[in-house]
Structure 1
Amino acid sequence: MKKRIIWIIVAASFFIGCIVYASSFYNEVSTTLETIHEPEIRQVSKLRTTEVELVKKQPFSLLLLGVDERENDKGRSDTIIVITANPSTNSTKIISIPRDTYTEIIGKNKVDKINHAYAFGGMDMALHSVENLLNIPIDYVVQVNMESFLEIVDIVGGVTVENANAFQVDDFIFDEGTIHLDGEQALSYVRMRMDDPLGDFGRQARQKQVLQAVLQKGASINSLWNYKDILSSLQKNLRTNMTFEQMIDIQKGYKSTLNQMESLSFEKGEGKKIDGIWYFMMDEEELKNVTTKLKEHLEIE
């Protein structure tokens, strides 16, 4: 069985918002939302004094978890990305957190790889651990089964990306430059790591490339014709603490934030073995700088 690496779908909110906002499929959409909604995940961060008011177009943050679920195993969140959206500046910032990052696991009273937080305590523990690492409020969380990646890319008609380095993986050859990917090709494109001169950082960059392309496609009203396929895929593969109304508010008020996307990254850390296990140790100054940028984007003092 092929190892699946993934990308994830904040576009869920835009998909669902477009469907409801421009059509009369309310009942089908609301039924899907009841299935994917996880109400027990907390709504207001301790780092905020009040809950984000989306109707007032306030900046918000979203944690995306790509999880490879197995039978009798909750799995680990091997893809961890934080997105901040600010409609007043029409901009979005995206940061990938290396899955082997050595950090405190909130609620477990231990330090470990950050991708173990999901295995220990699901979406809630992952949310709190990422929030503690970045020292910013995480307002919403979306968890996607990695297997849905191929399906989602095909549903939106494939994606176009700019490939920095030519390479071959599985049965595909990816040329340097502008390339169009279907779901199966995109899955291979984002999972390659060994032949990338930047290693796991190169893979993270390709993941964010494809995510941005999916976001822009998902926000398009042209995706409405196959809304039933979209809902079916979301219902099987996605879980979130966002409510139906919050998704609609995001679609209405935050679509323009996709106009300007900035990818941040962690590049200055280093690998280290502790008791024979490899971890990624964050560079504290770089972590502080990323936190500052995200707080400024969220308009937090």
Structure 2
Amino acid sequence: MSRKWTAAVILIVLFLLLGVALYSPARESVDEEPVLANELVLTHDGKLHVLLIGEDYQGQLPPEQRTKNRSDALMVASVDLETSEMRLLSIPRDTLVVIPGREGKDKINHALAFGGVELTMRTVREFLGIPICYYVYVDLNGFRQLVDAMGGIPIRLEKDLKYVDSYGDTCVVMQKGDHVLGGVEAEAFVRFRKGDGDLARTGRQRQFVIAAIKQLLKPGNVMKMNELISMAREMLCSNIPQKAMLEYLPRLLSLEPGSVKEFMVEGKGLIFDGIYYYEPDLVQLNQLVRDYFYPGVDLGACQGLRVLVVVANEDHELGEQIATLLQRHGLQVTDVIQGEEVQP
């Protein structure tokens, strides 16, 4: 398969990874981080980490009637470019975290409304301790269309499903058993949570991702990859450099469904002032991140080590974020300064 086709496959896979949630049609409303240079920024172990962000869907409301959205689902995709393995970490929307610049703790899905993609990325970076540089965002209408163009997604329902969205735009009823989900049904499958909550929905989202990758790699879809890639380009917002994708991601040519492993932030639900929150188990989460996503450094060797963070460009805020990550790994950061302040 050519480099062009492989990049197309990866782009559509990223689209589908994000498309498992409900996404706002308003692409122009996304507060994007600046697009990075043409070369991918990888972690020291050669992994590419991508944050997948989806907004609360607001039905078919015209743009002027929409409110500031919150993220409806968050996933981190970690891609090992050497072994062609992908790991997915789902973060429940009600997860209680510190949102930088806000007092106390709040639901992680509120970060998008408070500060757009930039604040969402910063919140997730500091929550997980993973140096995530890239994001992918997609609109909901595009998700439906692409699923239909792929011929639907084969899924086995473990229980009957009846889904009606809060705006009255969609009503889907399906019985337990095997189905091929079209765009509307796929949206209902990944959104439905009545009766079994956000955790069960997160599991269905991961089930959909695996099934979608299998469907995408079938010969019939490979034959119409030009059509699919054209659709995906219209629907995606991302800061992953296209040139870098062409250069590095052909290594995922050998991607098989069995090479995609899925995880979720574990925790427990709690009610505070009548509002539901999801309290993460931070001890287990930190171990999960170290074992499967970002090993970081030898924490014992870092204790007491003092470092100075020098920012070579004008992005002092990013330097502060890096300092936070270093401190999380046991280093003592003495200061964060601009490059021109360093004496030769």
- TM range, smaller chain: 0.7 to 0.9
Relative contact order (alpha carbons < 8 A, sep ≥ 6): 1 or 2 greater? Answer: 1
Equivalent position to 1:280, from 278, 281, 303: 278
Equivalent position to 2:202, from 195, 204, 208: 204
Q: For the structure 1 residues 147 and 109, does the alpha-carbon distance in structure 2 shift closer, same or farther, using more than 3 Å as the test?
A: farther
Q: For the structure 1 residues 276 and 80, does the alpha-carbon distance in structure 2 shift closer, same or farther, using more than 3 Å as the test?
A: same
* Counterpart-to-counterpart distance in 1, 2:117 and 2:72: 13
CA contact (8 A) 2:75 2:90 kept: yes
Bigger Cα Rg: 2
Superposition CA RMSD, Å? 3.3
Q: For the structure 1 residues 108 and 233, does the alpha-carbon distance in structure 2 shift closer, same or farther, using more than 3 Å as the test?
A: same
CA contact (8 A) 1:150 1:187 kept: yes
Task: Using the TM superposition, give the Cα deviation of residue 127 of structure 1 relative to its aligned residue in structure 2, in angstroms.
Answer: 0.7
CA deviation map 1:186-238 (0-9, x unaligned) = 11212221243xx2111111111212233344456734536346424532x32
CA contact (8 A) 1:14 1:247 kept: no
* Counterpart-to-counterpart distance in 2, 1:42 and 1:88: 22
2:132 maps to which residue?
Answer: 138
TM-score, normalising length: structure 1: 0.73
* Counterpart-to-counterpart distance in 2, 1:238 and 1:75: 17
Unaligned runs of 5+ in 2: 1-5, 13-29, 164-170, 298-344
Task: Using the TM superposition, give the Cα deviation of residue 121 of structure 1 relative to its aligned residue in structure 2, in angstroms.
Answer: 1.0
2:42 maps to which residue?
Answer: 52
CA contact (8 A) 2:32 2:116 kept: no
CA contact (8 A) 2:100 2:119 kept: yes
For 1:51, the aligned partner's letter is: V
Equivalent position to 1:149, from 140, 143, 146: 143
Task: Give 1:95-134 correspondences, 5 Å limit.
Answer: 95-108=89-102, 110-134=104-128
**Bigger mean CA deviation after superposition, 244-253 or 128-137:** 244-253
CA contact (8 A) 1:67 1:77 kept: yes
Task: Give 1:1-301 correspondences, 5 Å limit.
Answer: 14-15=8-9, 38=32, 40=34, 51-52=41-42, 58-68=46-56, 71=63, 72-108=66-102, 110-169=104-163, 170-176=171-177, 178-196=178-196, 199-218=197-216, 222-223=221-222, 225=224, 227-228=226-227, 230-235=229-234, 237-259=235-257, 260-267=259-266, 269-295=267-293, 298=294, 300-301=296-297
For 2:260, the aligned partner's letter is: M
Task: Using the TM superposition, give the Cα deviation of residue 281 of structure 1 relative to its aligned residue in structure 2, in angstroms.
Answer: 0.7
* Counterpart-to-counterpart distance in 2, 1:253 and 1:123: 28
* Counterpart-to-counterpart distance in 2, 1:17 and 1:103: 30
Q: For the structure 1 residues 88 and 218, does the alpha-carbon distance in structure 2 shift closer, same or farther, using more than 3 Å as the test?
A: same
CA contact (8 A) 2:98 2:105 kept: yes
Task: Using the TM superposition, give the Cα deviation of residue 276 of structure 1 relative to its aligned residue in structure 2, in angstroms.
Answer: 3.5
2:337 maps to which residue?
Answer: none
Q: For the structure 1 residues 290 and 91, does the alpha-carbon distance in structure 2 shift closer, same or farther, using more than 3 Å as the test?
A: same
Unaligned runs of 5+ in 1: 1-11, 19-35, 44-49
CA contact (8 A) 2:47 2:80 kept: yes
CA contact (8 A) 2:49 2:79 kept: yes
* Counterpart-to-counterpart distance in 1, 2:244 and 2:67: 31
CA contact (8 A) 1:42 1:124 kept: no
Task: Using the TM superposition, give the Cα deviation of residue 17 of structure 1 relative to its aligned residue in structure 2, in angstroms.
Answer: 6.2
* Counterpart-to-counterpart distance in 1, 2:190 and 2:280: 23
Task: Using the TM superposition, give the Cα deviation of residue 90 of structure 1 relative to its aligned residue in structure 2, in angstroms.
Answer: 3.1
2:307 maps to which residue?
Answer: none
Q: For the structure 1 residues 251 and 160, does the alpha-carbon distance in structure 2 shift closer, same or farther, using more than 3 Å as the test?
A: farther
The count of residues paired between Structure 1 and Structure 2 equals: 259
Q: 3-state SS of the aligned residue for 1:252?
A: helix
**Bigger mean CA deviation after superposition, 94-103 or 62-71:** 62-71
For 1:61, the aligned partner's letter is: H
**Bigger mean CA deviation after superposition, 157-166 or 59-68:** 157-166
For 1:225, the aligned partner's letter is: K
Q: For the structure 1 residues 232 and 157, does the alpha-carbon distance in structure 2 shift closer, same or farther, using more than 3 Å as the test?
A: same
TM-score, normalising length: structure 2: 0.65
CA contact (8 A) 1:83 1:92 kept: yes
